[in-house]
Amino acid sequence: MNRKIIFEDLGVSEYKKTWQYQEKLMQRVIEQKQQKKEHPEQQSDNYLLFVEHPHVYTLGKSGNDQNLLLNYIQLQAAKAAFFHTDRGGDITYHGPGQLVGYPIFDLENFDIGLRKYIYLMEEAIIKTLTDYDLTAMRDEKATGVWLDAGTPNARKICAIGVKSSRFVTMHGFALNVNTDLTYFQHINPCGFTDRGVTSLEKELGEKQGFERVKAQVLEYLVNIYQGTLAEY
């Protein structure tokens, strides 16, 4: 099994540009898998992208447009873009101060299915938050990582939405680090109207070192998928 994970930090990048890049890498991995049938010695690659996006709202393929509470003029005023995407899940927000991770993994390399893949992604985020003395957890009714799940004070700190084709993944997670949470007031996050959203900065009372969080998440992701890290 090829568990080498090729990591690339894209810095700040527009959502559409990054989405197209993900699709390019996904197609590359799918083609490698097809070639593997004729040449078993060849291995498909695994990629992991980290990025920050300018203000953007994205709606999953099963999402409801009514969960975006802004019209076009208001979107322009908020300097935010809006995209319908092909990932799972409903609506979410990406913006500065939020760590977005896009694994383009061949799940056959890791000998796991999609459900276990998402579970492990959540686990990496939970372990990261434990380093900050935050007790994060899953919610049985929703993907992602939550604080005080199952209580009236439940609030999401990390959203997860993925796509899989031929056991190759794209899209991923969005962890609120120093995110401007007021942007979530313009949507029903992930389709929920009764749950809050939070960030590391809000929970800890001050801005957090973004590069430190990035390094911690990267280490946990690589370890939890039992991979080895390689720079792009």
Residue 127 or 195, more confident: 127
* Helix axis angle, 210-224 to 114-130, nearest 10°: 140
Evaluate if residue 89 carries a pLDDT over 80: no
> pLDDT for 96-113, tens place per residue?
999 999 999 999 999 999
> pLDDT for 143-162, tens place per residue?
899 999 888 899 999 999 99
How many domains does the structure of the chain reveal? 1
Range of 143's domain?
4-231
What does the pLDDT average to over 54-72? Answer: 76
Give the model's confidence band at 122: pLDDT under 50 very low, under 70 low, under 90 confident, else very high.
very high
Cα 183 to Cα 14, 128, 136, 147, distances in angstroms: 17, 24, 22, 19
Active site (catalytic) residues? 190
Cα dihedral sign, 116-112-121-196: negative
CATH number at residue 175: 3.30.930.10
Evaluate if residue 46 carries a pLDDT over 80: yes
86 backbone φψ class: left, alpha, beta (φ>0; ψ -120 to 50): alpha
Evaluate if residue 72 carries a pLDDT over 70: no
Tell me if 79 sits within 8 A of 55, measured CB to CB. Answer: yes
What does the pLDDT average to over 199-208? Answer: 97
Spatial distance between the Cα atoms of 182 and 29, rounded to a whole number of angstroms: 38
Q: Quote the pTM value.
A: 0.91
Query: In terms of Cα–Cα distance, which of 102, 149, 87, 128 is closest to 210?
Result: 128
Tell me what the pLDDT averaged over the chain comes to: 89
Per-residue confidence (pLDDT) for residue 216, from 0 to 100: 98
Per-residue confidence (pLDDT) for residue 193, from 0 to 100: 47
